[in-house]
């Protein structure tokens, strides 16, 4: 018998977790069909230097989402609060601009860093649901999205 298993993976990261998600998504793991980044930042030093659009990344920067996002080959959804003081919305907009397959981002003008994802703004979860139902890449590289098990 020959079994083929298909995995469909959607990565979701929030705040500092968006850096880890971008790192993983940039290597295009088998089965990846979508990425959600909630309150992402372009890079650590860009965040602290208040320069989200700075083109060159310092070698000292350990969080380099700015450089990783262009390597992500599946749809990317960015959600960000317009009143986020921890990670200004310009970071999220820059990430969305750099993602080759970005879908329309969600910017909630009254939301801050915590309220964008703590249930206060249901728009966040509605937008993520729409992304999952309508915009993820269900047919992305099906040849690489399987693991086969052969029994003899």
86: closest CA among 108, 62, 115? 115
Of the candidates 43, 91, 112, 113, the residue annotated as catalytic is 113
Q: Is residue 30 among the annotated active site residues?
A: no
What secondary structure does DSSP assign to 68-95, as a single string?
A: HGGG--S-EEEEEETT-SSS-HHHHHHH
Rounded Cα gap, residues 111 and 81, in angstroms: 4
102: closest CA among 75, 126, 79, 122? 75
Of the candidates 15, 43, 112, 140, the residue annotated as catalytic is 15
Rounded Cα gap, residues 94 and 150, in angstroms: 45
Determine the 3-state secondary structure of 29 from DSSP: coil
Of the candidates 43, 61, 84, 91, the residue annotated as catalytic is 84
Q: Is residue 104 among the annotated active site residues?
A: no
Q: Is residue 15 among the annotated active site residues?
A: yes
Write out the two tokens for 76.
Answer: 């990317």
The residues carrying an active-site annotation are 15, 84, 113
């Amino acid at each position: 018998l020959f079994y083929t298993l298909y995995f469909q993976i959607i990565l979701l990261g929030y705040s500092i977790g968006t850096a880890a998600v971008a790192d993983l998504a940039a290597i295009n793991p088998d089965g990846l069909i979508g990425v959600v980044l909630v309150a992402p930042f372009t890079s650590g030093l860009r965040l602290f230097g208040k320069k989200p659009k700075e083109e060159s990344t310092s070698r000292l920067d350990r969080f380099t989402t700015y450089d990783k996002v262009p390597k992500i080959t599946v749809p990317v959804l960015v959600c960000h609060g317009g009143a986020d003081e921890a990670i200004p919305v310009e970071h999220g907009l820059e990430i969305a601009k750099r993602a080759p397959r970005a879908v329309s981002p969600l910017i909630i003008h009254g939301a801050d860093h915590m309220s964008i994802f703590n249930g206060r703004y249901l728009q966040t979860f509605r937008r993520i649901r729409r992304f999952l139902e309508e915009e993820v890449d269900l047919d992305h590289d099906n040849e690489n999205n399987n693991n086969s098990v052969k029994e003899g």
